[in-house]
Amino acid sequence: MTHIRHAAIAAALIAGATAAQAQTTVITREPAQTRTIVTTEPLQLTPVQRQTIYRTIVRERVAPAPPAAVEYRIGTRVPADARLYEVPDTVAVEVPEVRQYKYMTVNGHVVLVDPATSEVVAELAD
């Protein structure tokens, strides 16, 4: 009788192990999240880089922003309706640090703006 009981227990264990092996595991992955890098420090440019950016952009002759009642300084936000332009490829090749920014011209100055935060990161003049 004990042999039958042991045989029944062994059969149950084998059946349970087989059933466990037959289970399918499904692994789902969460979609990749994009990260926005926010810059809080002013852009550090050499005098030569500043001159290159200013002169190249001034040659583009884009429409300047209307004279501003406020002065755009590093860290200030530009209005949402401000017309911003892509940095020209010639500038981005020579000064890759500014590729991610946009710019506008105000009162004879070139203002580089971080499009993610609308904050001024550099102000350039001749």
This model's pTM is above 0.75: no
The predicted pLDDT at position 36 comes to 44
CA distances from 84 to 47, 113, 126 (A): 23, 8, 20
Other beta carbons less than 10 A from residue 95's beta carbon: 19
How many whole angstroms separate alpha carbon 54 and alpha carbon 105?
A: 10
Instruction: Write the DSSP assignment of 33-89 as a string of letters.
Output: PP------SPP---HHHHHHHHHHHHHH-PPPPPPPSS---TTPBPPTT---EEPPH
Token digits of residue 118 = 């609308």
pLDDT in tens, 2-31: 666 665 666 655 655 555 455 666 666 665
pLDDT in tens, 80-124: 888 899 998 888 888 888 899 999 888 888 899 999 999 999 888
In a domain, 12, yes or no: no
Residue 111, domain CATH? 3.10.450
In a domain, 28, yes or no: no
In a domain, 85, yes or no: yes
Structurally, the chain folds into a number of domains equal to: 1
The predicted pLDDT at position 125 comes to 84
Range of the domain at 108: 47-124
In a domain, 15, yes or no: no
In a domain, 81, yes or no: yes
Query: What is the percent of the chain with per-residue pLDDT over 70, rounded to a whole number?
Result: 59
